[in-house]
C-alpha cells in the first residue's frame, strides 16, 4: 500500500515508494523540556535536594507507512525527585518518580500480516490490494510506564575515613 515506484514486470507490482515531502518518521513538529534542581543545607552538614523535569512531544509517525493508525499522539511526561545527602556525600537517600502521568508512548511500530500471512502466505506487497488477512497489524515498542524508585547509596570509605 503506497508503493508506486520501481515497477517489477515479473510480478506486476511496485517495490518502492517516494516519500518526498512527507512527514519524517519519529520527528515531532515540537518538543520542549523544562526542569529545575534545588539544594539547600539542612542539619548537621546534610543537604536536601529537590528536582523536577517535564518533557512535551507533539504527535509523530511511528512507522514509514505513515498511516493514521501509526501516529503517536502528543504527550507530556514529568519526573520528580527528592534526596537527602549526608555529610561529604557519605550516604544518600533518594525518592524518584519517573513518568508520573503513566504515559505509554510508542517509539516505533512494525507492521506485518501476522494473523495469516506468516503461515498461509497472503502477504501482498507493491499493490493496493490486500491479502486474505486484510490490512497489516502493528506491533509497537512501548516505553516504560510510571516508575517509583527508592535508592540508597552508601560510601563506606567516605563514612569511616579519618578527618
pTM attached to this predicted model: 0.71
Specify the pLDDT at position 22: 76
DSSP state of 126: S
Specify the pLDDT at position 75: 96
Q: What are phi and psi of 115, to 5 degrees?
A: -70, -20
Specify the pLDDT at position 73: 94
Q: Give the cell for residue 28.
A: 515531532
Walk along the chain (163 residues) and give the pLDDT tens digit of each residue: 567 777 778 877 777 777 777 788 888 999 999 999 999 999 888 999 999 999 999 999 998 777 888 899 999 999 999 999 999 889 999 999 999 999 999 988 887 766 665 555 555 655 666 666 667 777 888 888 999 999 999 988 876 766 6
> Sheet containing 91-98: which strands, arranged edge to edge?
31-41, 47-57, 75-85, 91-98, 147-154
Measured over the CA atoms of residue 125, residue 129, residue 132 and residue 138, the dihedral's sign is positive
Distance from first CA to last CA of the chain, Å, rounded? 72
| CA atoms of 72 and 107, how far apart (whole Å) | 8
Specify the pLDDT at position 77: 96
Q: Which residues have a Cβ under 8 Å from the Cβ of 52 and sit 6 or more positions away? A: 35, 36, 78, 79, 80, 81
Amino acid at each position: 500500500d503506497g508503493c508506486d515506484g520501481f515497477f517489477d514486470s515479473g510480478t506486476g507490482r511496485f517495490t518502492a515508494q517516494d516519500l518526498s515531502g512527507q512527514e519524517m518518521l519519529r520527528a515531532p513538529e515540537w518538543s520542549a523540556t523544562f526542569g529545575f534542581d534545588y539544594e539547600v543545607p539542612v542539619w548537621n552538614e546534610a543537604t536536601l535536594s529537590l528536582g523536577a523535569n517535564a518533557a512535551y512531544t507533539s504527535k509523530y509517525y511511528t512507522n514509514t507507512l505513515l498511516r493514521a493508525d501509526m501516529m503517536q499522539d502528543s504527550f507530556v511526561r514529568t519526573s520528580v525527585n527528592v534526596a537527602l545527602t549526608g555529610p561529604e556525600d557519605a550516604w544518600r537517600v533518594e525518592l524518584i518518580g519517573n513518568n508520573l502521568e503513566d504515559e505509554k508512548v510508542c517509539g516505533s511500530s512494525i507492521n506485518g500480516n501476522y494473523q495469516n500471512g506468516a503461515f498461509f502466505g497472503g502477504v501482498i506487497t507493491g499493490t493496493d490490494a490486500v491479502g486474505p488477512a486484510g490490512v497489516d497489524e502493528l506491533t509497537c515498542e512501548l516505553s516504560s510506564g510510571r516508575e517509583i524508585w527508592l535508592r540508597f547509596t552508601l560510601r563506606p570509605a567516605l563514612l569511616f575515613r579519618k578527618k
